[in-house]
Amino acid sequence: GENVEQHPSTLSVQEGDSAVIKCTYSDSASNYFPWYKQELGKGPQLIIDIRSNVGEKKDQRIAVTLNKTAKHFSLHITETQPEDSAVYFCAASIGGGSQGNLIFGKGTKLSVKP
Amino acid sequence: NAGVTQTPKFQVLKTGQSMTLQCAQDMNHEYMSWYRQDPGMGLRLIHYSVGAGITDQGEVPNGYNVSRSTTEDFPLRLLSAAPSQTSVYFCASSRPGTVNYGYTFGSGTRLTVV
């Protein structure tokens, strides 16, 4: 079945450094790739997303890149701050996404040390 | 807009008891779903609905029932709780067919079955 692999499972960086989280997906029909941030005790919150017809998207300090040929996509956070500490999830649409189902990676716990 | 509202936030059940986790959204989203989140397992889909009167099973449906009588509400029922159902449950909604249909998640229900 469809699968999304996410790496690393934990990531620790110094404040100001960059952080990169990588995901690979198995369904070649996937065309929508959102990223979520989950703070302790809260629900996941959408932070950025990308469609398959776009190779890169930026929003201030965060960016997402997509390589459809290799079936992988990555989240890049620059100039990390302590408030970036959270669990991050990648997701991919199942098929073309007409029904709306997403499959999630297992998450990356990011710690930003002051 | 309240977004996605889940109740209760915390619940302790005894094995064999039944209960309903409530989920309501006020964004007129067609798609709603239930996930459970366990340590190291990420988010796993329990059941989903693409519209009122339509429900389907996800990855881990056993022990759970759902119904969708209105667009706004999507309750999750545990008929006979088991310790294996101890988890954090999240409800999510979205509008498939739009350009970027990332989910809006509720704040979660933390369930303990003893």
Minimal CA–CA distance to B72: which of B43, B46, B44, B106? Answer: B106
Kindly indicate the confidence band of residue A97, based on its pLDDT and cuts at 50, 70 and 90: low
Mean pLDDT on A33-57: 93
* Contact: A49, B102; criterion CB under 8 Å: yes
pLDDT at A101: 87
Q: Compute the distance between CA of residue A36 and CA of residue B106 in angstroms, rounded to an integer.
A: 13
Tokens of A100: 């709306």
Quick one: CA dihedral B31, B28, B108, B7, positive or negative?
Answer: negative
Q: What's the average model confidence in pLDDT over A75-79?
A: 98
- CB-based contact A100 B100, cutoff 8 Å: no
Residue A45: φ, ψ to 5°: -125, 130
List pLDDT tens digits, range B15-33: 999 999 999 999 999 999 9
Residues A89-108 have a mean pLDDT of 87
The average pLDDT across B90-110 equals 87
Report the pLDDT value the prediction gives residue A54, as an integer from 0 to 100.
Answer: 83
Reply yes or no on whether the pLDDT at B1 is more than 70: no
Decide if B82 contacts B113 (C-beta within 8 A).
Answer: yes
Q: What's the rounded mean pLDDT across residues A89-110?
A: 88
B90, B96, B103 member nearest A98 (Cβ): B96
Residues of chain A with Cβ-Cβ distance to B90 below 8 Å are 43-44
Summarize the confidence of residues B36-59 as an average pLDDT: 92
pLDDT digits (tens, 9 = 90+) for B58-71: 999 999 999 999 99
